[in-house]
Structure 1
């Protein structure tokens, strides 16, 4: 797909040949210019006019989703949303989209999670990590200390009490800190995260953690809601110093779980 845009008389070229990145067995659009991707996502995709929270009910105590051969039940704590800075107590569309993307990619043979090591960053309620375990991965779900109780409960219900093909463990992680050997030895095959690019202040620590987690074998999938173009552009420009980045076209997502408000990126270490 060829796209270009004009701003103040200047043409922004966002056309690059599609390539494969890491262990994802489909072609993605390489991101060579942060401004070009921002143009694509905001000017062409127009996220602000799409309905938010299309796949979630954040006022509910539970979210149920048929995925990975199971009905996944995610406990939410909507009351926690009143606490400043707490966003991981409920599900967001990007987590649903990423979960169903992983399921679809495995079903179509574009991704192999069976037996792989997966680390989830900013797990929140833990849907994505639980789904990866149900798809056969050995998953370590991570978040801040005050988020672990809810996370452990959802892992217990959806992985440990079921006949999951893989496994799941919960681990405390503050971005930017030195990582425990549990996370890095051996290095993960995949790192996943939804809505982890949310503020410029968190970008440096997030990238520090991604660099520590990444080896030549590691493929990173990040899904995020398109709320702030400046924050995403800041992340992309900083990430491109150490990572190759690809944008996953929505034609590769699960057909019933696509949203103009969400983007999925693939990153591999240079």
Structure 2
């Protein structure tokens, strides 16, 4: 049974606010990466919930009501046959992240209007498009061969009447990006924690894009506990990490197969001061 929020706060299980998000966040740290991974699998039982609860990978488009309009995201199911290509369809984690952003803005726990944001591994671009409709100026990024579909979805869903704006650019993780003149206000990502081999490049890119004021929000599909543990362990060296519990998500878009993390870059350590002269 979940503890009441006030009791959780008193016992240190959650804290109010992390970065630009003012809602409850459960810090990840006391139990380490292994403890957090065990908690998500033991309590959430991700394998017990239906896979792809909010999406249909066989369909050529996905429709979703968000921000007072009906979004239509084109998909390319045939591209899924190509090894390594996963961004041609929308995943549950993208839906969870997009609807969380909308719900957090509507609940006054997050402000996106006028913010500078970047979506990593945008795929079909759902989360980035929603962030733009909520007022952010978003750069949606992915590998070069994924940009055609991404541009089409941005053109279809983010018009001149949007509160914010959206544009598309390629970004290969691990380099030194000079996009939107980082650091940014927000970095968003869904299903970007997918292999141990990609963790170092992902974290290198997150470091390049962020400063201590940058709020990073990542929605992770819970497929492989070893991959998630690897990511969390590496991330905690440079970032404060928190988990946003499902009670804070959009009430109609919750899944134990998805975890929602918020990251803040740790400030650099203070340089040691020489002993004062006596």
- Structure 1 match to 2:174: 176
Distance between the aligned counterparts of 2:204 and 2:55, measured in 1?
Answer: 31
Instruction: For 2:261 and 2:137, locate their aligned partners in 1 and report how far apart those are by CA, in whole Å.
Output: 22
Report the secondary structure of 2:208's partner residue: helix
Rounded to whole Å, the distance in 1 between the matches of 2:114 and 2:23 is: 20
- The CA distance in 2 between the partners of 1:186 and 1:60, in whole Å, is 36
Task: Give the CA deviation at 1:175.
Answer: 0.2
Which of these residues, 221, 243, 252, is aligned with residue 225 of structure 1?
221
Map 1:142-181 → 2, pairs under 5 A = 142-160=141-159, 162-180=160-178
Partner of 1:213: 209
TM superposition score normalised by structure 2: 0.90
Q: Please, which of 257, 260, 275 is the counterpart of residue 264 of structure 1?
A: 260
CA deviation profile, 1:227-247 (whole Å, cap 9, x unmatched): 000000000000000000000
Root-mean-square deviation (Å): 1.1
In structure 2, the partner of 1:234 is 230
Give the Cα–Cα distance (whole angstroms) in 2 for the partners of residues 85 and 69 of structure 1: 34
Q: Is the contact between residue 158 and residue 165 of structure 2 (CA under 8 Å) also seen in structure 1?
A: yes
Aligned to 1:37: 36
Residue of structure 2 in register with 1:11 after alignment = none
Moved over 6 A (4+): none
Contact 2:24 2:248 in 1 (8 A): no
1:202 has 2:198 as partner = yes
- Residue 241 of structure 1 aligns to a residue whose secondary structure is coil
Distance 2:49 2:13 in 1: 28
Matched with 1:98 is 97
When Rg is computed on C-alpha atoms for both structures, the one with the higher figure is: 2
| 8 Å Cα contact 2:125-2:154 kept in structure 1 | yes
Unaligned runs of 5+ in 1: 3-14
1:80-105 Cα shifts (integer Å, max 9, x gaps): 00000000000110000000000000
Task: Using the TM superposition, give the Cα deviation of residue 131 of structure 1 relative to its aligned residue in structure 2, in angstroms.
Answer: 0.4
What is the rounded CA distance, in whole Å, between the counterparts of 1:134 and 1:147 in structure 2? Answer: 22
Question: 1:50 Cα shift?
Answer: 0.6
Q: Distance between the aligned counterparts of 1:216 and 1:207, measured in 2?
A: 15
Q: Distance in 1 between matches of 2:41 and 2:88?
A: 28
With normalisation by structure 1, the TM-score equals 0.92
